[in-house]
Amino acid sequence: MTTQEAKYEAYKIASVVLRVMASHEPPVVPNSQDAKAVAKAIMELSDLLALRLPSLRLEAAPEKCVGCEQCAKHCSMSLDVSKMVKTGKMENDECVLCGVCVDGCKQGAIRFTFRTAR
């Protein structure tokens, strides 16, 4: 799960929790300040979970890269994948994990892995 997906899930959870609390008789959330506090707590929790739960990620082996730029050329999100590989920083909020770069790199310099964020 990417950070953006985690935040979206957190918004959904927060809205459900707040709806349930507000429908309670008497309402559990008497004012908007409390509602904001609840939403903030859920958001922070989701950030923690996104960091600590293993998820599908890209991993680079910079030493295998020959700089052919095929990964960057075909990236679905027009990301500078070649640069990401060279710097070893494969985390990018815009990456949709489509795998085009993984399949396209003939040197095997990019692969999928399942792990927590570093």
C-beta closer to ligand SF4: residue 51 or 56: 56
Q: Are 22 and 50 in contact (CB under 8 A)?
A: no
C-beta closer to ligand SF4: residue 15 or 78: 78
Q: What tokens appear for 116 in the block?
A: 């927590």
Residue type, 95: C
Q: In sequence order, what are the beta bridge partners of 58?
A: 112
Candidate segments 12-20, 39-47, 49-57, 63-71, binder of ligand SF4 by CB under 6 A: 63-71
Q: What tokens appear for 41 in the block?
A: 């707590």
* HSE (side-chain half, CA atoms, 13 Å) at 69: 3
Q: Are 72 and 80 in contact (CB under 8 A)?
A: yes
Q: One symbol per residue from 16 to 55: x for binding ligand SF4 (CB under 6 A), - otherwise; what is it?
A: ----------------------------------------
Secondary structure letter of residue 115 according to DSSP: E
**Segment 69-88, which members bind ligand SF4 (CB under 6 A)?**
69-71, 75-77, 79, 81-82, 85
The residues of the shown chain that bind ligand SF4, judged by CB under 6 A, are: 58, 65-71, 75-77, 79, 81-82, 85, 95-101, 104-105, 107, 109-110
